[in-house]
Structure 1
Amino acid sequence: MRRARFEENRQFYAVVGRLIARARVGRLTQEALARKANLTRTAILNIEKGRQQILLHTLVDISRALDVPVTDLLPKADSLEIALRDKTQKGLEWIKSSTSALKSKEHDDGSP
């Protein structure tokens, strides 16, 4: 059973995990990152998938292991995914499809 507070923040952890994975790919394997950050490969996998909450000191350890600033592993304040983290899945899908359609239309029209 998942904790209620984690459910509210699951999208945040998913974004953090994707940022970690993006920074890792091409540099280190999950196993190598786990060794450098004193974690298990399973922990890295779960963090990258957003299934595991990450403590601040662990995030710092991961950023050091990847040799990237810790801020590169945090979502930007204006991230659509973070701004919408409390919305329903159906609502998120509608918003994302709507914004994708707008971006596509702007691209087709030659607008910026």
Structure 2
Amino acid sequence: MADERLARKISQQELAKLVGLSRASIANIEAGRQRVLLHQAVGLVQALRIQTISDILPLNVALAGDLKGKAKAVNISGSAVSRNEAATIAQIVENS
């Protein structure tokens, strides 16, 4: 998300004001220390004027709690998303 923000020459403070969050929240979101609710993600997409929410998401997400207790990386966009990864994405959304 920081890359998209910087490409548009928007400060963290400006983005925070546009979406109704604090500057610290924007910094934490960009650093991966804070979760984003769906309505906040939509606000970020609109404020940054990007095409889709996947443009601000990392290329993969870590899903904890698989059978061996280890996190696994899951592609969340692009043609590389397998059927299993699509099912994992659905599981993440359902459990959010």
Partner residue, 1:26: 7
Higher RCO (C-alpha 8 Å, min separation 6):
1
Shift in CA distance, 32/72, structure 1 to aligned 2, threshold 3 Å? same
Higher helix share: 1
Higher strand share: 2
Pair 1:71-2:54 in alignment:
yes
What is the alpha-carbon distance in structure 1 between the residues aligned to residue 18 and residue 58 of structure 2? 23
Partner residue, 1:36: 18
Report the TM-score when normalising by structure 2: 0.58
The total of aligned residue pairs comes to 64
Task: Give unpaired runs (5+ residues) of structure 2.
Answer: 65-70, 73-96
**Runs ≥4 residues deviating over 6 A:** none
RMSD: 2.0
Identity %: 42
Report the TM-score when normalising by structure 1: 0.50
Task: Give unpaired runs (5+ residues) of structure 1.
Answer: 1-19, 88-112
